[in-house]
Amino acid sequence: NAGVMQNPRHLVRRRGQEARLRCSPMKGHSHVYWYRQLPEEGLKFMVYLQKENIIDESGMPKERFSAEFPKEGPSILRIQQVVRGDSAAYFCASSPGSSQETQYFGPGTRLLVL
């Protein structure tokens, strides 16, 4: 049973470009969480999705950030017109349900904005 997969592992973008981060949850998991980790900081919740639905996006910046989890395929975190402050590690986690049990984390995507 493969773990949570994220790609790319490293992503370099220039200011103003778009960044697309992908997350494939563990097999059988239909709940996906995205977190962001700034340097020397803990992880901060961004968004929680179930298949085809955004359930909680209270941690998402209001502009330029969007997320989806289509019926088929991975979950996507999309950052438009990236700025240097978007440089961070972005982690995806999945769980089989939302019953406050363990979340399984992917290896993260490290985004560097030049």
Residues that bind another protein (CB under 8 A): 33, 35, 40-45, 48, 55-56, 59, 91, 93, 95, 98-108, 110
Task: Output 64 or 104, the one with its CB closest to another protein.
Answer: 104
Q: How far is the CB of 16 from another protein (least distance, A)?
A: 27
- CA dihedral 91→96→100→105, nearest 10 degrees, is -20
User: CB 38 → another protein: shortest distance, Å?
Assistant: 10
Q: Which is nearer to another protein, 79 or 92 (CB)?
A: 92
Phi, psi dihedral angles at 104 (to 5 degrees)? -105, 125
Nearer to another protein, 59 or 87 (CB): 59
Alpha carbon distance 106, 43 (integer Å): 13
Q: What is the 3-state secondary structure (H, E, C) of 41-88?
A: CCEEEEEEEECCEEEECCCCCCCCEEEECCCCCCEEEEECCCCHHHCE
Give least dist CB 50 to another protein, A: 10
| Least distance to another protein, CB of residue 55, Å | 6
